[in-house]
Chain A
Amino acid sequence: KAGVTQTPRYLIKTRGQQVTLSCSPISGHRSVSWYQQTPGQGLQFLFEYFSETQRNKGNFPGRFSGRQFSNSRSEMNVSTLELGDSALYLCASLAGGGSYNEQFFGPGTRLTVL
């Protein structure tokens, strides 16, 4: 069974641009969560999608948005990039049902904003 895949793995953007990151969960998993990881703030929850609906949201500005498609693939978008958005963005998938007993993570997308 293939694991969680994230594309691209690395990305370099400049301030003011926008970016879209993609996450494909494990086959059969309906929930995708997104996290931002920075040296200063650690791991922070962005949002979770389940069956194409946002089920949960962290405390991030509206520049951060996401969506989920019918095949459970998810994208997150960051508009008007700031230097502080430089981070490792991780997505995680689980089968669903509110249980986090086995949340599987992808390798992450490392975003650098110049």
Chain B
Amino acid sequence: AQKITQTQPGMFVQEKEAVTLDCTYDTSDQSYGLFWYKQPSSGEMIFLIYQGSYDEQNATEGRYSLNFQKARKSANLVISASQLGDSAMYFCAMRERRDSNYQLIWGAGTKLIIKP
């Protein structure tokens, strides 16, 4: 079963507009973490933002915020005032406990293209 679902394979957004990238997850753990990464065409994976399952407030990092709705198992990334440099693949990931260790489970990604 898909653990992390990103329903938007691709998105086009006008520069300076806000954009929301969807992510839903599935876990029976009470303690877990949710991450968003950005991957430009160069290939490097860039950490954007993290939300812990017990965090009561939505995480924010500059222009990035995470809209965490625990009951709906949703962790959408919001980018305010998009810029051309935001064009990239965006991945949602969940830290899940496997045996006594942790693994990151990844979504399929959303390709975001910012139009000038």
Contact = CB atoms under 8 A, between A and B. Distances in A.
A45 B43 contact: no
Q: Size band of the B side of the interface?
A: 20 to 34
Interface in B60-116: 91, 93, 95, 98, 101-109
Given A43-B91, A56-B98, A100-B33, A105 B104 contact: no
Interface string A82-114: 000000101010000010111111111010000
Nearest to B93: A43
B25 interface: no
A95 B104 CA distance: 16
B33 A107 contact: no
Contacts, number: 51
A94 to B, nearest CB: 10
Interface of B: 33, 35, 37, 42-47, 50, 91, 93, 95, 98, 101-109
Interface of A: 33, 42-45, 48, 55-56, 58, 88, 90, 92, 98, 100-108, 110
Given A100-B104, A103-B47, 14 more contacts: A43-B106, A45-B103, A45-B104, A55-B101, A56-B101, A90-B45, A100-B33, A100-B102, A102-B47, A103-B35, A105-B37, A106-B44, A107-B42, A107-B43
